[in-house]
Structure 1
Amino acid sequence: MPPRINLPPVTRIVLIVLGLQSVLSAAIRYRQWTAHSDIVIPYLNLIPQLSLSYPWTFLTTTFVESNIFTLSIACLTLYHGGRYLERAWSSREFAKFLVIASLIPNALCFATSIFFFALTRNEQWTLLVIAGTIPLQISFLVAFSQLLPAHTVTLFRGLLSLRVPRFPLLYIGVVTLLCMTPMLSIASFFLAIYGFFVSWTYLRFYKVAFPDLDTSQPSSLRGDASETFAIAEFFPGPVRPIVATISTHVFNLLVAMRICVPFSAADIAAARGDHRFGHRATPGSVRAEAERRRALALRALDQRLHAATANAAARAQSAPVPHAVSPPVPTAAGPTVHSQPQPVTQPMTTQAAGNATLLGQTNYNPDDRS
């Protein structure tokens, strides 16, 4: 029997939708293909001039790939990235992240094409096909940068080592190069840029953080105020101060427009690890810590049980073998007397104490994080 693929529900549904829509798009293109026309499918793909009658395409167009190369990359990204993030966040939070990372970049790309059409009067901007999982792919990289900010990935057998926060900009560079070829259109470049900023903004300011059950941390914490997830951390060192200055001015402008809410002292202190305000862990860290403690407790209990079993076997081997008691020999002076065995008068508490000493003792003392 082949091994069963264990996928969380949202990831499974997204992969099925991606496969069905991509196959349907390929079949329609194959049947209507001609050498002198470009085929567009306005009810599957988002096309500014044609898709206003099909509003669902603002979301579903993300799950349509036009060639086998991009479809393979999309499937691998959703399979591995979706499985990891959904288990770290929960299915509900992961589904919300998918909707935000798909819908908003597509809408912004739609508005950009209309803007350039109004600026240049070139109708090609209104016929731009906005489709593909590019905003989701870069959004996953941003999410990994939040969850694993200090993780380093080694490529080409150690020739290249990059920290996870470096991958979003590297991905944008690769997409920019591919947009200069027939493989990707200019819409892919805009989707990558918008996907990066939209996902970072959501994770930085709006996503509900998992509460830490071991502390008095409130369940209404949102965003991530840690310095490791600042926008400047995605850029190389030489330009990081410039990006930090620009991002500070933009943030202050958004706060003045009441689009963003500044972090409170509790948020900043929690992100820095100040326990006076309650420890604020990164999303999924509470679950990971609980699993780690459970594994350590089970391993300690297993070691003690093995030690108790070995001690019991050693004592059984070293104990002397009792000799058989011969029955009393009857004498001629009187009748045979049968001796009655004496009852064991050892208290049960002594026996229980001996068993506890033999098996060991396991105590659970939760960490004091207050």
Structure 2
Amino acid sequence: MPPRINLPPVTRALLGTLLFQSVLSAAIRYRQWAEDTDIVIPYLTLIPQLSIAYPWTFLTASLVEGNIFTFGLGAVTLYHGGRYLERAWSSADLAKFLVLVTLIPNVLTFFTMIFFFTLTRNTDWTLTIIGGTIPIQIAFLVAFSQLIPAHTVTLFRGIVSLRVPRIPLIYIGIVTLLSFTPLLSRAALWLANYSFLASWTYLRFFKMVFPDLDSAQPASLRGDASETFAFAEFFPGPVKPAVAAFSDQIYNILVAIRLCKPSAQRGITAGRDSFQHRGAPGSARAEAERRRAIALKALDQRLNAATAAARQSSQAPPPAPAQPSGPPVQVQPQSSAQTAMKSEPGPMLGETKFEPEEDDS
């Protein structure tokens, strides 16, 4: 029996869209390829100068990859990250999160390219290709930093050990370096940074939190004010105080202009006590979903094993009758007298027989 791949619906749709658009883009590039021509596809990827007539590219451009390396990395990210987050949250929450972390970075990068074109009058800025799964990859790393902040990733047999909240900035640094190479466009740097800010802001202040059933909490919780998900936690220890002070000032400004609500009005209490009281958002549901998935997998394996055993037993030939191992036994023939005595039963003991007399007349 071939292995069954169980993918939630949103993750399955993302993988299908990524495969379709990337293959279509590769086919168009192959057909129109020329040595001295840079091929752009404004109805698949976001091109500031050309894609105004194709507004859907502001959303779908994040599911197009231009080379096999970035396509493979994006597919692996969507498969594992999308499946985990969709089971930890829900399909609707993951879809809303993906719309925000793709639309906002693409729009901001679009206007950034226009801004640099205005300063330099260089048309290369307006012909920059904006696309790829980098915003989704950064957003997934930020979401993992919220759900599993205490987990540690160990690489090279313990030589490198990193906590999950440290990974997003490291990955942004790698993307920054690769944006100066032909592997990534110059827009990748801006996409990564805007996605980091957009995903953290949404999860920190606006996302509806799944309540913990073991604690007394209001039904409508928004955001995550725990210290483990503070903006400074993504940075190394020496710069944490400066980043924390700067982020607090930005938060106070946003509250003053009513773009963000204070923690008390959002139904959550900032600080370590709040984190210890309710735990990481979605942790109870994520743990329940993980256990359910493990139980379903074990049940599926048992059913497959039982089916295979039944099939083998039905296909096996019936066992041959056992032959006697001792000397042959001869049956002694019975005499005719004994046979007659057994075949003709006599009168029973104590039996009476009545015969009526006949009249002579």
TM-score relative to the length of structure 1: 0.76
- Contact 1:113 1:125 (8 Å CA) reproduced: yes
The one-letter amino acid paired with 1:15 is L
The one-letter amino acid paired with 1:241 is P
Distance in 2 (alpha carbons) for counterparts of 1:269 and 1:21: 43
Q: Match for residue 224 of structure 2?
A: 224
Q: 1:38/1:142 Cα in 2 relative to 1: closer, same or farther (>3 Å)?
A: same
Distance in 2 (alpha carbons) for counterparts of 1:293 and 1:192: 33
The one-letter amino acid paired with 1:253 is I
Superposed CA offset, 1:309-336 (max 9, x none): xxxxxxxxxxxxxxxxxxxxxxxxxxxx
Superposed CA offset, 1:324-363 (max 9, x none): xxxxxxxxxxxxxxxxxxxxxxxxxxxxxxxxxxxxxxxx
Distance in 2 (alpha carbons) for counterparts of 1:274 and 1:153: 22
> Is the partner of 1:268 in helix, strand or coil?
coil
Rg (Cα) greater in structure: 2
Distance in 2 (alpha carbons) for counterparts of 1:61 and 1:173: 22
Distance in 2 (alpha carbons) for counterparts of 1:259 and 1:274: 24
The 5 A counterparts of 1:33-52 are: 33-52=33-52
- Contact 1:209 1:282 (8 Å CA) reproduced: no
Output the aligned Cα RMSD.
2.0
Distance in 1 (alpha carbons) for counterparts of 2:186 and 2:93: 31
The 5 A counterparts of 1:159-174 are: 159-174=159-174
> Is the partner of 2:20 in helix, strand or coil?
helix
Q: 1:270/1:140 Cα in 2 relative to 1: closer, same or farther (>3 Å)?
A: same
Superposed CA offset, 1:129-158 (max 9, x none): 100000000100000000111111100111
- Contact 1:271 1:280 (8 Å CA) reproduced: no
Shift of 1:258: 1.1
Q: 1:4/1:126 Cα in 2 relative to 1: closer, same or farther (>3 Å)?
A: same
Q: Match for residue 135 of structure 1?
A: 135
Gaps of 5+ in 1: 296-370
Q: Match for residue 147 of structure 2?
A: 147
The one-letter amino acid paired with 1:26 is A
- Contact 1:270 1:280 (8 Å CA) reproduced: no
The one-letter amino acid paired with 1:233 is E
Q: Match for residue 65 of structure 1?
A: 65
Q: 1:289/1:128 Cα in 2 relative to 1: closer, same or farther (>3 Å)?
A: closer
The one-letter amino acid paired with 2:175 is V
Q: 1:57/1:238 Cα in 2 relative to 1: closer, same or farther (>3 Å)?
A: same
Q: Match for residue 336 of structure 2?
A: none
Distance in 2 (alpha carbons) for counterparts of 1:237 and 1:285: 26
- Contact 2:150 2:164 (8 Å CA) reproduced: yes
Q: Match for residue 74 of structure 1?
A: 74
Q: Match for residue 282 of structure 1?
A: 280
> Is the partner of 2:209 in helix, strand or coil?
coil
> Is the partner of 1:125 in helix, strand or coil?
coil
Q: 1:190/1:32 Cα in 2 relative to 1: closer, same or farther (>3 Å)?
A: same
Moved more, 48-57 or 254-263: 254-263
Q: 1:58/1:294 Cα in 2 relative to 1: closer, same or farther (>3 Å)?
A: closer
Moved more, 285-294 or 73-82: 285-294
Q: Match for residue 243 of structure 2?
A: 243
Q: Match for residue 260 of structure 1?
A: 260
Distance in 2 (alpha carbons) for counterparts of 1:23 and 1:213: 45
Shift of 1:178: 0.7
Q: Match for residue 114 of structure 2?
A: 114
The one-letter amino acid paired with 1:115 is F
Distance in 1 (alpha carbons) for counterparts of 2:116 and 2:292: 57
The one-letter amino acid paired with 1:36 is D
Distance in 2 (alpha carbons) for counterparts of 1:285 and 1:137: 21
> Is the partner of 1:124 in helix, strand or coil?
coil
> Is the partner of 2:221 in helix, strand or coil?
coil
Shift of 1:273: 3.9
> Is the partner of 1:153 in helix, strand or coil?
strand
Q: 1:263/1:168 Cα in 2 relative to 1: closer, same or farther (>3 Å)?
A: same
- Contact 1:210 1:284 (8 Å CA) reproduced: yes
Q: Match for residue 359 of structure 2?
A: none
Distance in 1 (alpha carbons) for counterparts of 2:30 and 2:66: 11
Q: Match for residue 92 of structure 2?
A: 92
Q: Match for residue 320 of structure 2?
A: none
Q: Match for residue 22 of structure 2?
A: 22
Superposed CA offset, 1:140-199 (max 9, x none): 000000011111110011101000000001001111111121111110000000010000
- Contact 1:63 1:132 (8 Å CA) reproduced: yes
Q: 1:292/1:273 Cα in 2 relative to 1: closer, same or farther (>3 Å)?
A: farther
Distance in 2 (alpha carbons) for counterparts of 1:290 and 1:59: 32
Moved more, 140-149 or 246-255: 246-255
The one-letter amino acid paired with 1:287 is R
| Match status 1:105 vs 2:105 | yes
Q: Match for residue 273 of structure 2?
A: 272
Shift of 1:215: 3.6
Distance in 1 (alpha carbons) for counterparts of 2:286 and 2:72: 30
The one-letter amino acid paired with 2:269 is I
TM-score relative to the length of structure 2: 0.77
The one-letter amino acid paired with 1:235 is F
Shift of 1:283: 2.8
Shift of 1:256: 1.3
Aligned identity (percent) is 68
Distance in 2 (alpha carbons) for counterparts of 1:274 and 1:196: 22
- Contact 1:273 1:280 (8 Å CA) reproduced: yes
Gaps of 5+ in 2: 294-361
